[in-house]
């Protein structure tokens, strides 16, 4: 390889790292905004974030990067399409082309508006008053429509936005993947609702002191190998995980003294995201090979730890005695079987983040339907509460009593995250496929989990998924790791077996 090509490549990697460092400052400010920033800091924070978004955008569209991309694409470095250099050039080209299509003014306007909208959404949600959020939603939908037009698309403007979260996915493709899952879930749910078996959910709403919940959650996070020397756990309204950079991954949860499951499973969920971020290769920091593939793959990791591991019987064979020791007043008279059934209670409910494994995806399908309609203009933001409630009643047989438990519950739209929701269902699908494969490759996985041995599974995920960075796109990675393209089958089969047995249906 001629030295000059190597030098060009090193310069290219240096520029990518600088961009990532700058972008990680936005991540840190975003984390602070959700955790410790005082209320009156919101306007100043919006200015900081808009400035940084503009700077990152300028770096991504810098003529020097474009020039380097052009030269490197013609070089021998591209001979092996899966080599580090080829992957980094290919994925940077994708991001750079996307960024170049959006005018800088629009980028800054979206960053400023969504940063301000966040606070108005919090207020509107607290008061259950959609009218406070409506002007912001209108502005955001209009900005996102402009963004989709600027980006360009094939079939549907929604595809342009979706591509930001799940590169390569289209709404038509997702429709095909989701439809058989929707009918399988509707059928399973109907049988469960009609079953005489009821989970003893009362045990989870006894008194669980918040400080004990925190200690127990931390202990479990550590046990599944979330690294607290390279991470933090804090409290927010809406749990999340943000990877600031190598050695700094932050997760959050929320506590309710009379709801053990809410905080505990949020912690496991966010740990799954955190373990992915902590497992990225620091040598490739700032380049696509050191980055997560997509939100769908990210969510597969959180769902795997939260549900496929964390709601399994073997997991609680190990942790239930420790839970009884941590919460003697609440759990001393509870049997493991009853506790396991309680954490796997299935019933139609209003809040997505608190919903069970069977109904969860139905919440996503509703949002997917409404978002697509918002972006093409078939649904006006002002009509969202009414249409939400009607659609919810159609799918769940319940009508949300207020917008707090309806269209105001999620943070995503206030942050401009239109196109984000379907990645949750992709995560459930991908996660089920990965977990089924891990079961084959790791042998006695259930026995390992029951002994509290989480290292083999974590190392398997590190090697097969985390260390691969963006070598493959989401759907390709699933096929490479599991030998099968993404499908609803692993998830539908898992749910059918597990809940068929728990509910005797």
| Residues with catalytic roles | 270
Tell me the two tokens of residue 210.
């918040």
The structure tokens 């942790």 sit at 319
If the CB atoms of residues 302 and 361 are measured against Zn ion, the closer one turns out to be: 302
Helix axes 157-165, 360-376, angle to 10 degrees: 130
Phi and psi angles of residue 364, each rounded to the nearest 5 degrees, phi first: -70, -40
If the CB atoms of residues 385 and 427 are measured against Zn ion, the closer one turns out to be: 427
Beta partners for residue 47, in sequence order = none
Q: Compute the least distance from the CB of residue 302 to Zn ion, in Å.
A: 4
Beta partners for residue 256, in sequence order = 259
116: left (phi over 0), alpha (psi -120 to 50) or beta: alpha
For the chain, the residue count is 505
**One character per residue 156-175, x = contact with Zn ion (rule: CB under 5 A):** --------------------
Is 141 within 8 Å of 418 (Cβ atoms)?
Answer: yes
Q: Compute the least distance from the CB of residue 147 to Zn ion, in Å.
A: 23
If the CB atoms of residues 147 and 299 are measured against Zn ion, the closer one turns out to be: 299
Which DSSP string do the residues of 219-282 spell out, in sequence order? HHHHHTT--GGGEEEEE-SS--EEEEETTEEEEEE--BTTBHHHHHHHHHHHHHHHHHHHHS-G
Q: Count residues contacting Zn ion (CB under 5 A)?
A: 2
Q: Compute the least distance from the CB of residue 107 to Zn ion, in Å.
A: 25
If the CB atoms of residues 299 and 357 are measured against Zn ion, the closer one turns out to be: 299
If the CB atoms of residues 277 and 299 are measured against Zn ion, the closer one turns out to be: 299
Beta partners for residue 241, in sequence order = 251
Residues 290-329 that bind Zn ion (CB under 5 A): 299, 302
- Using CB atoms, what's the residue nearest to Zn ion? 302
Q: Compute the least distance from the CB of residue 295 to Zn ion, in Å.
A: 8
Which DSSP string do the residues of 49-64 spell out, in sequence order? HHHHHHHHHHHHT-HH
Is 131 within 8 Å of 349 (Cβ atoms)?
Answer: no
If the CB atoms of residues 156 and 232 are measured against Zn ion, the closer one turns out to be: 232
Distance between CA atoms of residues 307 and 301, nearest Å: 10
Q: Compute the least distance from the CB of residue 244 to Zn ion, in Å.
A: 17
Distance between CA atoms of residues 393 and 256, nearest Å: 28
Q: Compute the least distance from the CB of residue 125 to Zn ion, in Å.
A: 19
- Residue numbers at the binding site for Zn ion (CB under 5 A): 299, 302
């Amino acid at each position: 390889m001629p030295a000059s090509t190597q030098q060009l490549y090193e310069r290219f990697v240096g520029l990518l790292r600088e961009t990532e460092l700058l972008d990680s400052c936005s991540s840190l400010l975003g984390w602070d905004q959700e955790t410790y920033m005082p209320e009156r800091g919101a306007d100043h924070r919006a200015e900081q974030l808009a400035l940084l978004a503009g700077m990152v955008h300028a770096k991504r569209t810098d003529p020097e990067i474009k020039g380097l991309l052009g030269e490197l694409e013609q070089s021998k470095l591209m001979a092996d399409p899966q080599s580090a250099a080829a992957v980094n050039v290919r994925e940077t080209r994708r991001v750079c082309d996307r960024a170049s299509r959006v005018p800088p003014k629009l980028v800054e306007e979206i960053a400023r508006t969504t940063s301000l909208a966040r606070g108005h959404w919090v207020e509107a949600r607290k008061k259950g008053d959609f009218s406070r959020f409506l002007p912001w939603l209108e502005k955001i939908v209009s900005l996102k429509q402009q963004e989709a037009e600027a980006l360009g698309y094939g079939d549907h403007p929604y595809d342009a936005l979706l591509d930001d979260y799940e590169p390569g996915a289209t709404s038509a493709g997702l429709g095909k993947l989701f439809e058989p899952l929707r009918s399988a879930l509707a059928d399973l749910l109907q049988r469960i609702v009609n079953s005489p078996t009821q989970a003893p959910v009362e045990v989870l709403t006894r008194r669980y002191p918040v400080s004990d919940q925190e200690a127990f959650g931390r202990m479990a996070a550590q046990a599944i190998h979330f690294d607290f020397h390279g991470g933090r756990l804090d409290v927010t309204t809406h749990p999340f995980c943000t990877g600031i950079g190598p050695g700094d991954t932050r997760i959050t949860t929320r506590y309710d003294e009379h709801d053990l499951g809410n905080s505990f499973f949020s912690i496991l969920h966010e740990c799954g995201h955190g373990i992915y971020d902590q497992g990225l290769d620091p040598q490739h920091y700032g380049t696509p090979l050191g980055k997560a593939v997509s939100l769908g793959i990210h969510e597969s990791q959180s769902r795997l730890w939260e549900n496929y591991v964390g709601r399994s019987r073997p997991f609680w064979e190990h942790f239930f005695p420790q839970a009884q020791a941590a919460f003697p007043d609440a759990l001393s008279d509870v049997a493991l079987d009853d506790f396991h059934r309680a954490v796997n209670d299935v019933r139609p409910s209003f809040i997505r983040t608190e919903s069970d494994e069977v109904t969860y995806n139905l919440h996503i399908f509703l949002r997917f339907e409404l978002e697509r309609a918002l972006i093409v203009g078939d649904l006006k933001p002002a009509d969202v509460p009414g249409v939400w409630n009607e659609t919810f009643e159609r799918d769940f047989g319940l009508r949300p009593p207020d917008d707090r438990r309806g269209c105001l519950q999620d943070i995503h739209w206030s942050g401009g995250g239109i196109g984000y929701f379907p990645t949750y269902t992709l995560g459930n699908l991908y996660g089920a496929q990965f977990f089924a494969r891990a079961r084959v490759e790791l042998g006695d996985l259930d026995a390992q989990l029951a002994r509290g041995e989480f290292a083999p599974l974590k190392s398997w995920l590190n090697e097969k998924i985390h260390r691969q960075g963006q070598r493959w796109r989401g759907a390709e990675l699933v096929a490479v790791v599991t030998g099968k393209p993404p499908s609803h089958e692993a998830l539908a089969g898992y749910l059918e077996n597990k809940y068929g047995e728990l509910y005797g249906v």
